[in-house]
Chains A and B, each alone.
Chain A
Amino acid sequence: MNNEIFSINGPVVKVKDTKDFSMLEMVYVGEKRLIGEVIGITEEFTTIQVYEVTTGLKPGEPVYPTGSPMCATLAPGIITNIFDGIQRPLKKIEEISGAFIAEGANVPALDEERLFDVKVVVKPGDALKGGDIYATCPETPLIEHRCMLSPNLSGVVTWTAPDGKYKITDKVAEIKTDDGKTVELTLMQKWPIRQPRPSKERLPISRPLITGQRVIDTILPIAKGGAAAIPGGFGTGKTMTQHQLAKWCDADIIVYIGCGERGNEMTQVLEEFSELIDPKSGNHLTDRTVLIANTSNMPVAAREASIYTGITLAEYYRDMGYHIAIMADSTSRWAEALREISGRLEEMPAEEGFPAYLPSRLSEFYERAGYVETLNGKEGSITIIGAVSPQGSDFSEPVTQNTKRFVRCFWALDKALAYARHYPAINWTMSYSEYTDDLADFYNKNVSEDFLLCRQEISNILIEENKLMEIVKLIGADVLPDDQKLVIEIARVVRVGFLQQNAYHKDDTYVPLEKQLYMMQLILNLYKNAKNAIAIGIPISEITALGLFEKVIKVKYDIPNDKLDMFNEYNAEINSAFSELMQRHS
């Protein structure tokens, strides 16, 4: 029988009296063949959310089932690409429909004409199980693409193609499955976006994701395979922080999901990343980046899907044995898309109009992060860093609160810091990271045993300053005794000289862990010397007159990242300046 549209309300379309559709099946809607997904089935109505603008759609137009759920296309050609929320390549769409996106632009997700230098790594007779690699090819100068048998398949190789240049749809091998069927293997496979890809087992979290951002690496570290949230009102630098992490963190691949955010920001990422050079490999940053751009003015249903598309691509590369970092900017827009669609379905709302299933959707997403052993025995990880845009900058709203339950690292951005142009505006008292203990071993072995001790002392200074500031706010700093004035002075050095970091300065934009340690040691050395001086009664005005505080603040600019032995000179200068001062007073 014919499946015809019965009603249309925004992106929600209903079909009456049909039993042809299954839940979460992908469908084509109307004569323009708009892409949609079945989200509800009752005896009377089948409800479909449409991923494109529904203007001009009429009741009575046909709806075509496809028989398969919404899938991501997985094959070489993903990296360096830019997709919309349902993995349509935006550059191809531009070629077809110009600067403005037209409806029904159905193009294959990946370039099916491009040739890859394929090496087939199995031979006839080999037994393969799900996840095993059968072919490899260089995808970008940085990433070797490894084609893996779909996790649901296993069998014996019966035929292989010779090494050479192939398109993603070309057959490169054939297997006979256990039940006797012959399956052709191309470079391409599909995977439903709402279903996590399986792995052998989860491994404990033990390695940090090194970002080169001092406040993160030192005070609030994030682990590979972990999940972090960056909540902050507008103008506090969520996007800027995500850009910095995407540029500098030591993941192999970055999946950047622009979910309901600004178009110009995506353009900026595109432009900046193609100009920037990865310091470790000397290649363009785009060679390790996938962009998913579903800006705020693009259809809302596709925004809901963009998060799943992104994480499915990430899981595919994780299974090859890579470490992936996902930047999701912003998960609040995704939650709002849920709310919008839920409202159109006339579901019973929970808090602030959000659907009651918001927490379970959030946890499903964040739980797809992790450090795993893959089916083919490699190690890979996915780290999720999700921005949250709380309504009215109020962290008690549902998205922030529910996110907090499913992440172990919380980088709260603070308006007051942002107004004072203290960037990154991560508030060190409101934020936390539960990964510090998991990562202690790594820091002790790979950086120095001193690292965590210094970190603790630096945190203590900040906590103490926080207490003193309450008094200062009431009666001014002048009445404090000298040892407390010193805490305030040294805390200023920590804040301005250490926590504040200049993303536009060539050395300060990325700081290696070693330099972070030396900077802490230098600050603590200054603090120790100054404390001793105050203990024998030297007034603080004479100590600040030495100019050392200002000098230490500027260390981040004055000592280049490749001349770390200069720290010795600085420490020596502090020591001698203080011993001179002490001598004058004794």
Chain B
Amino acid sequence: MSIQYVGLKEINGPLVVLDKVDHASYDEIAQIRLSDGTTRVGRVVEVAGDKVVLQVFEGTKGLSLTNTKTRFLGKPMEMPLSTEILGRVFNGSGRPIDGLGEIYPEKSMDINGKPLNPVSRTYPRNYIRTGISSIDCLMTLIRGQKLPIFSGSGLSHNKLAVQIVRQAQIAEESGQDFAVVFAAMGVKNDVADYFKRSFEDSGVLQRVVMFLNLSNDPIIERILTPRCALTAAEYLAYEKNMHILVILTDMTSYAEALREFSSSKGEIPGRKGYPGYLYSDLASLYERAGVVKGSTGSVTQIPILTMPNDDITHPVPDLTGYITEGQITLDRNLDQTGIYPPISVLPSLSRLMKDGIGEGYTRADHSAVANQLFACYAKVQDARALASVIGEEELSDIDKAYMSFGAMFEKYFISQRFDENRTIEETLDLGWDLLSLLPMSELDRVDEKLLSEKYHPERALRFK
């Protein structure tokens, strides 16, 4: 099929319309050759009779109604893949941009993926140790999970992501390969650079595949970026049996690109102008995390999103939270008091942790410590609210104990150095040390046998 269609009928934002086209199929890829010899790639987003609407990945700048020749390729967007992609850098639509030449593909895969059959999934159970106390103890990351970081502009989500990548270890040392797929969508140049440098410094660059769509790159390419990245991740995980950690940053920019595209298509907007299918669209990305029967590999996702105006009810974090299996929420107040990582424990959650911790995975007392720390820290908030009204002096003794527990918990447990890699034993013991600051009768989430074994007021002396 090498019919070429000369010229266009209409150009509107990233969309172009062709007419008198014979049998273009929905979702197929078209190549647009400009009169100056350059080519662009587009995708069919709507067909009606002989009229075809194409979205152009590289943008429509320079296109006119007469200077193009369009050829339809008869297949959906595919990405060439081989294990050579490790250590390489690609642009948002999956073309190498590191000057090292094209990939010799072992196979090509449709970047849209296909829905994973729920009966073919294996329930994720093994945890990934990040070496960060608050995450390992209270919102444990499980292999095959999707656990986003909810952050805001100016918070240290990038630093945290780098630390996780550097320290992440698969718990059971199965000798399997571990690699990172990193997709940047609409991030600033220096942020992308920071990631690249950090990966280089820590010597992990050889097991990182990078996809970069910077904030001034075309938005249509931004919509493809996570899809290319996840296709690469699925290939490495399910065909090459590797454990893959996918970092997607920043999902808010992605959603905004989707909104821009949707409005130029003239679709009816839902909440805050985002298209009505934002949920389904995000799900088609996030649900590509998992463990598949018959493969020993896994895809774990850490999407990062900045909440506009720190608002967790904004559609992007809201819909994300409904799809992902928990969230790590960062807090501006903690950040301002100099605590790194500024993880706000109470609104954070890992839905899969209950089956991936405890005996055989981490340690038998893990869930007890985690529950008790959550419950006590929730009471700290009540005590603080009260103190802000009546003053700390007027608090009852027990509330005062909570106040000091809260301060110590933030100082010693949440806060840790950028290069500090704590073992799970260290983390859990630290949890017990802190709980020993409180009277024994306050610890109502732990059964008595365990409590009498682990609770010693002396453990807390170093905090006083």
Residues of A participating in the B interface, judged by any CB pair closer than 8 Å: 6-10, 14, 16, 53-60, 82, 90-91, 93-94, 97-102, 233-235, 258, 260, 262-264, 266-268, 270-271, 293, 295-300, 333, 336-337, 339-340, 343, 346, 349, 352-353, 389, 391-394, 415, 419-421, 472-478, 496, 504, 550, 553-554, 557
Contacts and interface: CB of A to CB of B under 8 A. Distances in A.
A508 B386 CA distance: 33
Contacts, number: 219
A99 B117 contact: yes
Given A264-B352, A343-B276, A59 B116 contact: no
A349 B267 CA distance: 12
A557 B279 contact: no
Contacts of B270: 339, 343, 352-353
10 contacts: A55-B76, A263-B116, A296-B286, A339-B276, A392-B314, A419-B346, A421-B374, A473-B386, A477-B396, A553-B444
Contacts of B122: 267
Contact of B441 (A263, A267, A550): A550
A55 B27 contact: yes
Interface of B: 23-28, 46-50, 76, 110, 112-124, 144-145, 238, 267-271, 275-277, 279-280, 283-284, 286-288, 290, 292-294, 313-315, 318-319, 321-323, 325-327, 346-347, 349, 351-352, 354-355, 367, 371, 374-375, 378-379, 385-386, 389-390, 394-396, 399, 441, 444-445, 447
A372 B385 CA distance: 52
A504 B378 contact: no
A295 B118 contact: yes
Contact of A268 (B123, B268, B319, B445): B123
A99 B294 contact: yes
Contacts of A340: 276-277, 280
Task: Determine chain B's interface SS by DSSP, over half rule.
Answer: mixed
Contact of B267 (A6, A94, A296, A343): A343
B434 to A, nearest CB: 17
B47 A8 contact: yes
A305 to B, nearest CB: 15
Given A235-B321, A260-B283, A477-B396, A100 B117 contact: yes
A392 B271 CA distance: 11
Nearest to B445: A421
Contact of A300 (B117, B145, B280, B395): B280
B444 A99 contact: no
Given A271-B123, A297-B116, A420-B374, A353 B279 contact: no
B277 A300 contact: yes
A262 to B, nearest CB: 7
B389 A391 contact: no
A266 B375 contact: no
A297 B25 CA distance: 22
A297 B288 contact: yes
B333 to A, nearest CB: 16
Given A59-B49, A102-B114, A264-B290, 15 more contacts: A55-B27, A55-B110, A57-B25, A59-B48, A100-B117, A101-B114, A234-B322, A263-B290, A264-B123, A267-B121, A267-B122, A296-B323, A297-B115, A419-B347, A476-B386
A53 B318 contact: no
Nearest to A420: B378
A343 B268 contact: yes
B58 to A, nearest CB: 22
Task: Name the residue among A299, A473, A476 with the largest chain B CB count within 10 angstroms.
Answer: A476
Contacts of A477: 396
Nearest to A505: B447
A263 B117 CA distance: 8
B25 A58 contact: yes
A90 B267 CA distance: 33
Contacts of A349: 268
B48 A333 contact: no
A101 B115 contact: yes
B115 A234 contact: no
B447 A557 contact: yes
A3 B283 CA distance: 34
Task: Name the residue among B28, B284, B323 with the largest chain A CB count within 10 angstroms.
Answer: B323
B49 A296 contact: no
B50 A100 contact: no
A97 B323 CA distance: 25
A346 B269 CA distance: 11
A-B interface, 10 closest residue pairs, ranked by CB to CB distance from nearest: A392-B313, A296-B283, A7-B48, A297-B287, A234-B321, A99-B120, A100-B114, A420-B378, A55-B27, A353-B270
Contacts of B47: 7-8, 58-59
B117 A101 contact: yes
B271 A391 contact: yes
A24 B344 CA distance: 50
B119 A94 contact: yes
A31 to B, nearest CB: 11
